Amino acid sequence: MHQQTLILNPQTPTPDYGFPNLLHPLLFFQNPRLKRIYNASCCIGVNHHHHHHAIRTRVNCKSYGVDVSVSSDHRRRSKFKFSGEKEFDVATLGNLCVDVVLNVPNLPPSSFDERKNYMEQLSKSPPDKKYWEAGGNCNMAIAAARLGLRCLAIGHVGDEIYGQFLLDVLHDEGINVIKMREEEDIVKSSSFSEYETLLCWVLVDPLQRHGFCSRADFSKEPAFAWMSKLSDDVKMNIQNSKVLFCNGYGFDELPANVIASAVEYAVEVGTSIFFDPGPKGKSLAVGTPEEQEALAKLMRLSDVLLLTSEEAESLTGLGNPVAAGKELLSNGIRTKWVIIKMGSKGSILITKSGISCAPSFKVNVMDTVGCGDSFVAAIAFGYIHNMPLVHTLTIANAVGAATATGCGAGRNVANLQKVVELIKESNLNNEDSNFWNTLLDENSSKDDITILSKTTANNGFFKHETLQKVVNEVLHKLEVRLADGIFSS
């Protein structure tokens, strides 16, 4: 099943901007594709929302409490030491919303005013609760919690029925919610609606194409523009987490300076940063100066970057995903992993010491919404548990693919039992050696390359990590968690 994301925001002109050490601006964003077509595999997720603007930023920083070393094991493990005792594994920043999933005869009209009126009409008649689902970063947090990671969701939820719904869902999944609102913000605001939980209307037409819209799509300001700073409570919980996950859609809700402050504070307290710019990366890079600066900080200060091959091309102008990943890696100050998601082809993890590749799993795809979020959660699982890189990709591909076999995201993301069953089947989607040779040969002849494969023979160009060996080791780790009752819902 293919899905088309309907773009609901007007295009913004492309001003001059500076991104150090990257290509000319005209090449940097030459890929015009803002819609995403999703294939059967997994690694690409659909999320929601809209618009926006990269100023060159020089950031003087160092790794705080993070040490990277490479094992002599040819499978390569990256060892990450987190400073101090951290109670939580993953904290997500912003992008907490309720998805309202509706079947409609037609997707919203194209003009800005007509789309706005369309959404206002939808909002006048709140749909039955059976159509509600947790969305945005709730997807990643739920998938991570179901893998046994200790999770926090940092963001804004309102005091109305939608906010209570989100709190109940996340509580049932064992996820702590850290609210970003403080009482002083209420005094500043002139409208109660500014404090309402963000709703995202997920509209599905008879051809199973998806359109997304929320009030954030119709404002130049973030939905929670009243938010001016990080509270002490938020800072404490960032410090108490091993990983802080941010994505591009967070800019629809949170002011750019608040996101930038969270990134800087995470660096200061030794919390690793994961960033998935998504399709918004392109529009953020031509957005306001504040958005451009925050995006540049995220791209340079993140420990782990995750992009689709199309997004990597749009941010570098390089069509080969390996070359694009290397470019992003070299321009990062703290960047240790760049992960390129290639849909039904699989995924690649690029480090300074080598490249790891894993074909995706074959599944009957029902819905790809939430697959990318599930994939990120499993990458965090491998990162935190110091797993070999190919093993990390294998679990991530499996979790993303398992989510694709269900309908929708939120509470519908894959559970551990389904992931284990899929891995046991060991049905890889793409074992075409010509594909991998062509992809890797252009820029990788001197790299240490490992690929997941059913074969055992090495061809001199890259090493084969046998599927059976990886599956046995991955299953052992996951089945221990399953036996402990983790992620059985």
Q: pLDDT of 430-446, one tens digit each?
A: 666 677 777 887 556 66
Written as one string, the DSSP assignment of 287-347 is S-HHHHHHHHHHHHH-SEEEEEHHHHHHHHS-SSHHHHHHHHHHH-SS--EEEEE-GGG-E
pLDDT digits (tens, 9 = 90+) for 98-139: 998 888 888 888 788 888 888 888 877 778 888 899 999 999
Please count the other Cβ atoms lying within 10 Å of the Cβ belonging to residue 143: 33
pLDDT at 249: 93
Q: Do 450 and 463 touch, CB atoms closer than 8 A?
A: yes
User: Would you place residue 364 in the very low, low, confident or very high pLDDT band (cuts 50, 70, 90)?
Assistant: confident
pLDDT at 463: 82
SS3 state of residue 201: strand
- Burial letters 199-233, b for 16+ CB under 10 A, else e: bbbbbbbeeebbbbbbbbbbeeebbbebbeebbee
User: Would you place residue 460 in the very low, low, confident or very high pLDDT band (cuts 50, 70, 90)?
Assistant: low
Single pTM value for the model: 0.80
Residue 199 gets which letter from DSSP?
Answer: E
The average pLDDT across 264-291 equals 94
Mode of pairing for the β-strands spanning 337-341 and 347-351: antiparallel
To the nearest 10 degrees (0 to 180), the angle between helices 416-425 and 389-404 is 110
